[in-house]
């Protein structure tokens, strides 16, 4: 936009020109932005501000970075962070891989079967997370009459504590791996649908050429499907990562963070610090630390898979 020294008489002034040019854009985003500012950014700002305070609701005092520093030195927070990262890494990796494989398997089926499977996989995610977690808690009951233990008994294995056993296991503990297991046994429906869509856009001649050269199914998958699905993989990985890092209902319903500190996750800690202890300042600090982690990981994922993706 330039400022001209002279203006033709009767020509609109800069302000009006600005409005004419950009006004529509602003007006279209206006309704959404109003609600965003009022109910998202304002509360976020309040949270950010009090993360530098020692705050209950009624009193607060400025303590600068003390909240953040104490968190970084807090072994409970450290363990929760570790649990969250382990949970996310395993879960996201499995979900991305599984959804890619499932979508690839569904793709060549006749249309009726395709729709059937996609619907069957998507159905569970339409129900509330709390209820699903309740069911898993029931399944992983430590008593011999818990379903999972019953299945184990069929193989002659003893009853496992599953969700009540904090014994070390594979770098973490049994309870945490049980939670991860319940997650892994959940079908990544969104990923399946997204990959299905992307697959339909993959040109056939590539596969034909590979077949001519004698490539089998696995080879085709590795060298054609996976690279071509990179853009979608980025999107899927990012949304699943965000969701995994914010895991809460699952832990709240299944274990309550226990036994001991075995299944604490960051968001569970945030909730507990805010709602149980009433320490909203500290809870906000925890939340913003989480935000930094998620944002960083998303950025890394973007860079890693960015090359041929335009967003």
Partner 1 sequence: MGNGRIAKFIGVAASLVMVAACTGGGGTTPAGSPGAPSDSSGGSGSPGGSAAGGYQGPLEWWQLGYAPGGTTATSKLVDDAVAAYEKKHPGIDITVTGIPFSDEGLARLDTAIATGNGPDIFRIASDRLPSYGAQGVLSPIDDYLTAEDKADILPNLLEGVAYNGQHLAWPQWVPPVGYYLNNAVIEKAGAKVPDATWTVADFMKLAQDVTGHGTYGFATYMGAAGVNDLTLLYAEGARVLSDDNKTYTLNSEAGVKGLQVMVDLFKAGAMPPDSATIKLADVEQGFIDGRFAIMPTGSGSIANLKSKNVKFTVLPPPIGDAGKPVTVGGMGTYAVPKKSDPARVAAAHALGRYLTSAEVASDVPGWYLAPATRKSIKVSDTTPEMAPFEAMLPNVQFMPLIEKWSQLDAAIHPEIQLALAGQKSAKQALDDAGAKITPLLGK
Partner 2 sequence: MATPTSSGVSVRSPREVPVLVPVEVLPVVGGATNASGRPLRRRERLAILAILVPVAIIGLFPMYWMVTTALTPSSAAIRVPPSLVPLDASTENLAELFRQAPILLWAFNSLVIAVAIMVCHVVFDSMAGYAFAKKRFPGKNLMFLLIVSSLMVPVEVTLVPRFILVTRLGLDDNLLGVILPSIADVFGIFLMRQFIRTLPTELEEAARVDGANEWHVFWRIIMPLSRPAVATVAIFSFVGAWNAFLWPLIVLSKRELLTLPVGVALLQQEFSTNIGLQMAGAAVGAIPTIVLFLFFQRQFLEGVRVGGVKG
Using CB under 8 A, which residues numbered 46 to 75 contact partner 2? 46-47, 57
Q: Which of 190, 206, 170 is closest to 243 using CA atoms?
A: 190
CB 213, min distance to partner 2, A:
12
CB 142, min distance to partner 2, A:
13
Task: Name beta bridge partners: 169.
Answer: 172
CB 43, min distance to partner 1, A:
13
Rounded to whole angstroms, how far apart are CA atoms 85 and 88? Answer: 5
- Say whether residue 73 binds partner 1 (CB under 8 A): no
Piece of the chain touching partner 2 by CB under 8 A; list 2-10, 83-91, 165-173, 220-228: 220-228
- Say whether residue 124 binds partner 1 (CB under 8 A): no
224 DSSP assignment? I
- Say whether residue 45 binds partner 1 (CB under 8 A): no
CB 224, min distance to partner 2, A:
8
- Say whether residue 15 binds partner 2 (CB under 8 A): no
Q: Which two tokens stand for residue 251?
A: 């832990």
Choosing from 64, 111, 168, 216, the residue that interacts with partner 2 (CB under 8 A) is 111
Q: Which of residues 155-214 bind partner 1 (CB under 8 A)?
A: 159, 161, 163-167, 175
- Tokens 């050429």 — which residue? 209
- Total residues belonging to the chain: 311
Residue 142 site contact among partner 2, partner 1, none (CB < 5 to 8 Å, cut-off depends on kind): partner 1
Q: Which of residues 252-281 bind partner 1 (CB under 8 A)?
A: 255-261, 271-272, 274-279
143 DSSP assignment? S
Instruction: Name, in order, each residue with C-beta under 8 angstroms of 135's C-beta and a sequence gap of 6 or more.
Output: none
Q: Which of 116, 117, 98 is closest to 195 using CA atoms?
A: 98
Residue 251 site contact among partner 2, partner 1, none (CB < 5 to 8 Å, cut-off depends on kind): none
For the CA atoms of 141, 146, 152, 157, the dihedral, rounded to the nearest 10 degrees, stands at 70
Going from the C-alpha of 208 to that of each of 55, 100, 202, the distances in angstroms are: 65, 20, 12
By the criterion CB under 8 A, which residues form the site for partner 1? 20, 23-24, 27, 31, 56-59, 76, 141-143, 159, 161, 163-167, 175, 255-261, 271-272, 274-279
């Amino acid at each position: 936009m330039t400022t001209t020294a002279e203006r033709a008489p009767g020509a609109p002034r800069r302000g009006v020109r600005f409005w004419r040019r950009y006004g529509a854009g602003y007006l279209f985003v206006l309704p959404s932005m109003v609600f965003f500012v009022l109910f998202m950014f304002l509360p976020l700002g309040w949270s950010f501000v009090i993360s530098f305070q020692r705050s209950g609701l009624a009193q607060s005092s400025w303590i600068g970075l003390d909240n953040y520093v104490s968190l970084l030195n807090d072994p409970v927070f450290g363990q929760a962070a570790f649990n969250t990262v382990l949970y996310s890494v395993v879960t996201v990796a499995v979900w991305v891989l599984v959804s890619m494989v499932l979508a690839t398997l569904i793709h060549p089926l006749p249309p009726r079967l395709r729709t059937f499977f996609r619907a069957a996989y998507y159905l569970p995610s339409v129900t509330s997370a709390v209820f699903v977690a309740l069911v898993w808690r029931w399944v992983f009951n430590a008593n011999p009459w818990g379903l999972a233990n019953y299945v184990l008994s069929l193989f002659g294995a003893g009853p496992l504590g599953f969700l009540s056993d904090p014994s070390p296991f594979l770098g973490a503990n049994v309870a945490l791996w049980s939670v991860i297991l319940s997650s892994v046994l959940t079908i990544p429906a969104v990923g399946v649908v997204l990959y299905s869509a992307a697959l339909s856009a993959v040109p056939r001649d590539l596969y034909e050429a590979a077949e001519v050269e004698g490539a089998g199914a696995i080879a085709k998958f590795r060298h054609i499907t996976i690279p071509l699905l990179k853009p979608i993989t980025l999107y899927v990985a990012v949304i699943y990562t965000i969701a995994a890092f914010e895991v809460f209902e699952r832990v709240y319903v299944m274990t309550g963070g226990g036994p001991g500190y075995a299944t604490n996750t960051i968001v569970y800690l945030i909730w507990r610090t805010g709602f149980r202890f009433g320490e909203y300042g500290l809870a906000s600090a925890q939340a913003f630390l989480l935000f930094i982690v998620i944002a960083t990981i998303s950025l890394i994922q973007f860079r890693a898979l960015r090359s041929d993706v335009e967003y």
